[in-house]
Amino acid sequence: MTRPIVIAIDGPAASGKGTLARRLAAAFNLPYLDTGLLYRAVARRVLDRGGDPADPAASAEQARTLGRLDLERGDLRTPEVDRAASAVASIKPVRAALLDFQRRFADASGAVLDGRDIGTIVFPAADVKLFVTASLDVRAKRRHLERLAHGIDPGYDSVRAELAARDAADRARAAAPLVQAEDALLLDTSEMDADHAFTAAADLVNKVLARG
Ligand code: CDP
């Protein structure tokens, strides 16, 4: 591969995008960026300062001053941050402040990026676009298991309700809503384990790249 390639992976919460994106990045020798972490880190900074994640001024200020170390914190995947990340992500100036960082990330060597708007807004000309999804029940089961593995049990019903609410907010917002790009390939992983999803996605990527 002579030219750096960009692989855009979008989809709803807990669809398995992150695991898949990480494995594709390793297989195709590309840097990986989990863009959800950017919104999570902005949300965390607002919460730490006692601010309201829905307040545009407070959230935009934290987005503009976000540093690399903010992304390495261990407390970005709590239910509180899930909700706050979705709130800051609906604020236009927050998204604008994070756009350059995402685009520059792929400048030197290409990249695999996962999020909600990678194929639609961040890299509309990405070489490969995947829209990864799974049924709400399957996603809720996966996220519940992740929470249990971290020693938290919010209960399956609560996890399911939170996922549904966050997806609805991400789809309905005016700024960069979650939507499948017209030219994205759909990968429904409801019936697939992580290995199967990776094999299916790698096949799709290879086919698109072979077409040039
Ligand atoms: O891991 P999970 O799928 O639960 O969420 P995430 O990918 O870490 O994203 C957290 C939140 O950030 C989402 O609910 C979106 O509101 C927002 N987000 C976004 O708006 N745009 C992106 N490119 C990535 C995340």
Average pLDDT over residues 49-63: 98
Average pLDDT over residues 5-18: 96
How does pLDDT run across 116-135, given as a tens digit for each residue?
999 999 999 999 999 999 99
**Shortest-distance atom of ligand 1 to CA 14:** 3
> Whose C-alpha lies nearest to ligand 1, atom 14?
86
Whether the pLDDT of residue 195 is over 90: the answer is yes
Task: Give dist(CA 10, CA 115) in Å, integer.
Answer: 5
How does pLDDT run across 170-189, given as a tens digit for each residue?
999 999 999 999 999 999 99
Selection from 124, 138, 103, 136 nearest residue 184 by Cα: 124
Integer angstrom CA distances of residue 189 from 140, 144, 152, 165, 194:
13, 17, 25, 21, 8
Q: Is 166 in the pocket of ligand 1 (CB under 6 A)?
A: yes
How does pLDDT run across 75-99, given as a tens digit for each residue?
999 999 999 999 999 999 999 999 9
Identify the band that residue 58 occupies on the pLDDT scale cut at 50, 70 and 90: very high
Question: Hunting for tokens 């996922």 — which residue is that?
Answer: 163
Q: Is 66 in the pocket of ligand 1 (CB under 6 A)?
A: no
Average pLDDT over residues 50-70: 97
Q: Is 119 in the pocket of ligand 1 (CB under 6 A)?
A: no
Task: Give dist(CA 200, CA 197) in Å, integer.
Answer: 5
Average pLDDT over residues 5-27: 97
SS3 state at 175: coil
Give the alpha-carbon dihedral of 14, 126, 63, 150, to 10 degrees: 20
SS3 state at 190: coil
Average pLDDT over residues 107-115: 96
Whether the pLDDT of residue 2 is over 90: the answer is no
SS3 state at 179: coil
List all residues 6 or more positions away from 162 whose beta carbon is below 8 Å from its beta carbon: 79, 82, 83, 154
Please give the order of strands across the beta sheet that includes 6-10: 32-34, 111-115, 6-10, 128-133, 185-188
Report the pLDDT value the prediction gives residue 53, as an integer from 0 to 100: 98
Whether the pLDDT of residue 1 is over 90: the answer is no
**Shortest-distance atom of ligand 1 to CA 10:** 23
Under CATH, which architecture does the 6-203 domain have?
3-Layer(aba) Sandwich (3.40)
Q: Where are the domains of the chain?
A: 6-203
CA of 187 to the centre of ligand 1 (A): 18
Q: What is the mean pLDDT of the chain?
A: 96
